[in-house]
Amino acid sequence: MIEIERGFMLNLLAELLNEHSPTGYTEKALGLLRRQMLIFPFLEFSTTRKGALLATWKVDGSSRPKAVTAHMDTLGAMVKEIRANGRLSISKIGGLQLNAVEAEGCWVVASSGRLIRGSLLFEDASSHVHGAKVSETVRSEKNMEVRLDEMVFTADETKALGVSVGDFICFDPRVEITNGFVRSRFLDDKACVASVVAAIKALADAGKEPAQTTTFHFSNYEEVGHGASAGIPSDVVELLTVDMAAVGAGQESDELNVTLCVKDSGGPYHYGLNNKLKDLAKANGIPYKTDIYPYYGSDGEAFWRAGGDVAVSLIGPGVDASHGYERTHSNALVNTAAWVAAFLMDA
Which residues are the active-site residues? 222
Strands 214-219 and 66-71: parallel
Tell me which residue of 55, 5, 52 sits closest to 29, measured CA to CA: 52
Q: With respect to Zn ion, which residue has the nearer C-beta, 75 or 90?
A: 75
What percentage of the chain's residues is helix, strand, coil (to nearest 5)? 30, 30, 40
Verify binding: residue 326, Zn ion, rule CB under 5 A.
Answer: no
Q: Should residue 188 be labelled a site residue for Zn ion when binding is judged by CB under 5 A?
A: yes
Is 243 a residue that touches Zn ion (CB under 5 A)? yes
Q: Which stretch binds Zn ion (CB under 5 A): 6-14, 91-99, 240-248, 279-287?
A: 240-248
The DSSP bridge pattern shows strands 311-319 and 258-264 to be: antiparallel
Spatial separation of the C-alpha atoms in residues 7 and 2, rounded to whole Å: 15
Total residues interacting with Zn ion, rule: CB under 5 A: 3
Nearer to Zn ion, 167 or 255 (CB): 255
Contact status: 291 vs Zn ion (CB under 5 A)? no
- Contact between 73 and Zn ion per CB under 5 A: no
Query: What is the smallest separation between the CB atom of 316 and Zn ion, expressed in angstroms?
Result: 8
Using CB under 5 A, pick the residue from 189, 238, 254, 320 that binds Zn ion.
189
Q: Is residue 301 a contact residue for Zn ion (CB under 5 A)? A: no
CB neighbour list of residue 207: distance below 8 Å, 6 or more residues apart = none
C-alpha distance from residue 157 to each of 175, 191, 339 (Å): 33, 39, 53
- Which residue, 188 or 301, has its beta carbon nearer to Zn ion? 188
Identify which of residues 189 and 238 has a Cβ nearer to Zn ion in the complex.
Answer: 189
In angstroms, the CA 4 to CA 37 distance is 16
Q: Which is nearer to Zn ion, 89 or 195 (CB)?
A: 195
Strand bridging mode 288-292 / 245-246:
unpaired
Nearest to 244, CA basis, from 223, 268, 267: 223
Span from 120-128, 184-192, 305-313, 335-343 in contact with Zn ion (CB under 5 A): 184-192
Give dist(CA 259, CA 247) in Å, integer. Answer: 10
How many angstroms separate the CA atoms of 22 and 264, rounded? 23
What is the DSSP secondary structure assignment for residue 94, as one 8-state letter?
S
167 binding Zn ion? (CB under 5 A): no
- Residues whose CB is less than 8 angstroms from the CB of residue 60 and which lie 6 or more positions away in sequence, other chains included: none
- Which residue has the closest beta carbon to Zn ion? 189
Residue 118 buriedness (CB in 10 A; 0-12 / 13-18 / 19+): buried
Pick the closer one to Zn ion by CB: 188 or 255: 188
Give the residues lining the site for Zn ion (CB under 5 A).
Answer: 188-189, 243
